[in-house]
Amino acid sequence: MGEMTTTRKAVVLLSGGLDSATCLAWARAQGFTCHTLAVDYGQRHRIELDAARRVSAELGAADHRVVTVDLRAIGGSALTAAIAVPKDRSETEIGQGIPVTYVPARNTVFLALALGYAETLASADLVAGMNALDYSGYPDCRPEFVRAFESLARVGTRAGVGGAEYRLHTPLMTLDKAGVIRLGVSLGVDYRLTHSCYDPAPDGAACGGCDACQLRRRGFLAAGLPDPTRYALPARSAR
């Protein structure tokens, strides 16, 4: 990624998935010294946390932290509780409404943790992979939410009260999945390191049918780039 020309620090939220890995590569390319933060929130698949650690190391972050928060104690989602993950939904179905995989206030919780970490680092820059176009309708992935969080950070922190201009950078906000993949590939991201699937096989292979797998598959296809992911099932269109 070349020489660092600044000592500005950024806290980058890493999920282990494709989007946040792209964000980290973007933040490095902007010259930030990156402190990555993964959240262990009781997700059913530990594979994600392993992927986040790998991505952080491979993409040159200065430091990686994992903060544990047991979101199962407040219930409510297929990603943490025993609700079936929907499979083989059409693009139209995926685009409609808010999916059952929604974790209540997840981004609010994760960003609050990133904000606390940024305060201890004297950083006012947060980076997260929210995406308004391609994120299956999560309300906390929209630009209005980003602006509201920046406002909260400015009034709710020592540094903000002292005049620091908190920025929540969301470099993927207006990109479709193909655009994210093109950006990442141009920045040298090896997407084999990342994990997207909501329902992986015991050996770690992606299921190929959940919303996340379908979005990922279509993204590589639309970008005209080879998909390095190992899927347990072929794409529905190929069956």
- The residue ranges that bind its own copies (CB under 8 A) are 37, 65-71, 73-76, 98, 102-109, 111-113, 115-117, 119-120, 139-140, 142, 144-145, 148-149, 151-153, 155-158, 160-161
Instruction: List, in order, residues 6 or more apart from 162 with CB less than 8 Å away.
Output: none
Pairing between β-strand 33-40 and β-strand 9-13 as defined by DSSP bridges: parallel
What six digits make up the tokens of 15?
A: 């999920």
CB of 148 to its own copies, least distance (A): 4
Closer by beta carbon to its own copies, 115 or else 213: 115
Question: What is the phi/psi pair of residue 176, to 5°?
Answer: -85, 175
CB of 143 to its own copies, least distance (A): 9
* Distance from C-alpha of 233 to C-alpha of 239, rounded to nearest angstrom: 9
CB of 51 to its own copies, least distance (A): 19
Closer by beta carbon to its own copies, 47 or else 121: 121
Helix (H) or strand (E) holding 125: strand 125-127
Closer by beta carbon to its own copies, 148 or else 178: 148
* Distance from C-alpha of 136 to C-alpha of 139, rounded to nearest angstrom: 9
**Number of other CB atoms surrounding residue 7 within 10 Å:** 8
3-state secondary structure string across 77-107: CCCCCCCCCCECCCHHHHHCCCCCCCCCCHH
Alpha carbon separation from 218 to 136, 232, 233, 236 (Å, rounded): 14, 16, 14, 11
Closer by beta carbon to its own copies, 152 or else 185: 152
- 110 alpha-carbon distance from chain centroid: 10
Closer by beta carbon to its own copies, 62 or else 152: 152
CB of 98 to its own copies, least distance (A): 5
Closer by beta carbon to its own copies, 81 or else 222: 81
Q: Which residue has the tokens 């993927």?
A: 172
CB of 8 to its own copies, least distance (A): 19
CB of 201 to its own copies, least distance (A): 29
